[in-house]
A and B are shown apart, each in its own frame.
Chain A
Amino acid sequence: MNRAVTRTLSANTHHLRLCRRTLCSATTDHVYHATPGEVNDNVQPYDIAIVGGGMVGMALACSLATTPLTKHLKVAIIDANPALTNQVPINREDPPDPRVSTVTPATISSFKDIGAWQYVQQHRHAYFDKMQVWDYTGLGYTKYDARDVYKEVLGCVVENKVLHRSLLSRIEDTDFGKTIYPSRLMSMSLHPSSSSNIVDDTSSAEALYSRGRLAKLELSDQKSLYAKLVVGSDGAKSQVRELMGFKKTGWNYSQNAVICTVEHSVENHCAWQRFLPSGPIAILPIGDNFSNIVWTMNPKEASDLKSLSEEDFVKAVNHALDYGYGPHPRPSLLDSSSMFSWLGGNMTITSNASFEVPPKVVKLASARMSFPLSLLHANNYASKRVVLIGDAAHTVHPLAGQGVNLGFGDAFALSRTIAEGVAVGMDIGEVSVLKRYEAERRPANIGMMAILDGFQKAYSVDFGPLNILRAAAFHGAHFILPLKRNIISYASGEQRLPLFT
């Protein structure tokens, strides 16, 4: 088989050389369009192939493009999403898209570092500095304030399309050599090790591939390409992860999230989250008088909710955020000072943080969408020439709005790892280089996943005693400032160690 490869290869050498020359002169910002009948002429190998140009994949590309040690790399971005090639203008007058992300202060500062935050600021975005979390039993509530952690804001809510576009615009402002393939990855392969067959043209991509120095990717439009490193940023259903046989652990929550945009008659400045018997409902400010709703429930309830009339849906939302399912919490119900005396030490009682009801929703402002939720974690993030980032490596419950922030954390960590590898002259696809990224990110992601999953477990079981316990947890979080500070700084992405340290 190898001999056959060798023969076709030498026959093609002249042709390949020509192609390479034309490709070298290709300018940056190249979009590779498929021409029918054209076969495999794009042999110039890439340094990095990013499979999946979603928010996380684009964050990686943007970070590489703006780092002195990596901006020279040749990068291919593979994604059929038309948003990458056909940029319809984002109109500020349109109501916000229901797909939004809560970005943490840590993410904001990374975006500033790579120069992408200024583009976000040109579009609609909503900072919030307060957060109220309560539950339907009326036993507890907690208010978080950015000032408790000496911060200006707790986070910022931004539409996913704005984050995506900002990263793309930032990349386009650099002279980064990227090629976009508007296509899907169908298969990929890697030769096991530097095998011994000697091929005449030692530097041709096919020869390097046959020696295990390049991965080969085949796309849905019959194109193929080679890269030293393949990054799987292709989301929760990652093809890269499946094709390369990364093992994973995970389960479905048998829950769905219903998301939509709603309108108030006043502007909302706080993030609200209430735990209901069927799951949490969150309402996040997204700018002007709009808010975003993420409401978790079982699939049957979700489809019922989606088929309600707009008017009934608005009623259901207001009900769920006010007296629905149970009373407003009263802080005096539990004597927190005696309850938490075993914790010892200095307890600070925040007195002026009284319970509030979120602003009423007056109108539904987008379609309602429903997504099944699942928890998934790849056991490894890195193997030879392949690395996973973002949802491809882990999906979490959208409870604390952490999903994409963990992914951004991955993207920036991988970019740093690659820069370090380049600095000391390593082959960036070497597993020893990639394992450094894995060692940095796995513990951080597992920590956050365990916390979110723990939350989810505690709140989807409705036992009497458990309710008291979690109310107690609320009180604890509310009244003991240092504890609360830990929770906030962890949720805002600035702490590596789990809670209660």
Chain B
Amino acid sequence: MPRLCFPALGTIAAMALRRGQVRQNLRRYLFNPSRSISSSAAYNIEGKNDNKSSKNELELAKFAAMSDTWWDSEGPFKPLHAMNPTRLAFIRSTLCRHFRKDPQRPRPFEGLSIIDVGCGGGILSEPLARMGATVTGVDAVEKNVKIARLHADLDPMTSTIEYHCTTAEKLVEEQKKFDAVISLEVIEHVANPAEFCQSLSALTISGGATVVSTVNRSMRSYAATIVVAEYLLHWLPKGTHQWSSFLTPEELVLILQRASVNVKEMAGFVYNPLTGRWLLSDDISVNFIAFGTKFDQ
């Protein structure tokens, strides 16, 4: 599996830092505590149905219909579905190595507690549970969590997942800790990525693992993600992404480093339009995923 290791990235990051624009962006990420983390507008479906005491059957039916969208592999979340086996292969291989688990076993993550931050409909949480992990999924949007719950209950292998409507920072306040903290395709939707990384790190046990994936802020990613995915292929609803809020790999490495997470491995996802499959590659110019370990401050 092709991957970039941290020292190489450190150099890239150092080089990139010489560019003023990057420095400015970094300053925005690192020193802007006033912007609180909130869910992105694209996922903010107004959810007033918080009355837990009496179930509204009509609303339940609506959630189920929505659940068909999160879980429709040809629907708006098609790219996440298509990418899933590829990013899970990366997670499987890095976590098995880090936690010394046997990758030949069908459920290698048995005994590991994993939190999926920004779990959406649970596209990532469910496979993690099937791989044996004790999974907690959290999302800022109540409806997503309900949809995730409904879907996970369809399979006894995934019905053990705990879903909560909350944010990473609330869990930090509650002093929750996990062996591994995973947050895929979320950081580009939060208000303050640096603070978000601080929270992810705070949720990770010392010596544990943090995995983050996102879209690179390169011209190619602009073309690939916003123009192609949102406007041409209609894979994603228009306005899902704001290009200016994308992080470059070197920025991500730096803000994770400041949050006591050492990025050890990084890989890119490359889409092959002929096979419709995503491949892991060392090309991190569009989509990339980073695996890091938490060190003691």
Contact = CB atoms under 8 A, between A and B. Distances in A.
Interface of A: 68-70, 72, 193-196, 198, 202-203, 208, 211-213, 420-427, 430-432, 439
B142 to A, nearest CB: 18
B88 interface: yes
Contact of A194 (B68, B82, B126, B127): B68
B260 to A, nearest CB: 29
A208 B126 contact: no
A202 B127 CA distance: 19
A88 B54 CA distance: 64
B67 A425 contact: no
Given A69-B104, A432-B73, A196 B61 contact: yes
Given A194-B71, A196-B60, A198-B60, A425 B65 contact: no
A423 B92 contact: yes
B65 A196 contact: yes
Contacts of A68: 104-106
Nearest to A204: B156
B85 A420 contact: yes
28 contacts: A69-B104, A69-B106, A193-B68, A194-B64, A194-B68, A194-B151, A196-B60, A196-B61, A202-B153, A202-B159, A208-B154, A208-B155, A211-B154, A213-B154, A423-B103, A423-B106, A424-B84, A424-B85, A424-B88, A425-B126, A425-B128, A425-B129, A425-B130, A426-B127, A427-B130, A427-B155, A430-B73, A439-B275
B155 A425 contact: no
Contacts, number: 68
A426 B88 CA distance: 10
Interface SS, A side: loop
From B103, B129, B153, name the one whose CB has the most chain A CB atoms within 10 angstroms: B153
B4 interface: no
Contact of B67 (A194, A198, A208): A194
Interface residues of B, number: 32
A196 B104 contact: no
B155 to A, nearest CB: 6
B154 A194 contact: yes
Contact of A203 (B73, B126, B159, B275): B159
B219 interface: no
Nearest to B102: A68
A432 B81 contact: yes
Contact of A196 (B64, B84, B129): B64
From A72, A203, A420, name the one whose CB has the most chain B CB atoms within 10 angstroms: A203
A424 B92 contact: yes
A285 to B, nearest CB: 40
Given A68-B105, A208-B155, A422-B106, 14 more contacts: A68-B106, A194-B64, A196-B61, A198-B60, A203-B156, A203-B159, A211-B154, A422-B130, A423-B92, A424-B85, A424-B131, A425-B127, A426-B130, A439-B275
A212 B130 CA distance: 18
B89 interface: yes
A70 B88 CA distance: 18
A441 B131 CA distance: 27
A72 B132 CA distance: 14
A193 to B, nearest CB: 6
A439 B128 CA distance: 26
Given A68-B104, A439-B275, A213 B155 contact: yes
B113 to A, nearest CB: 16
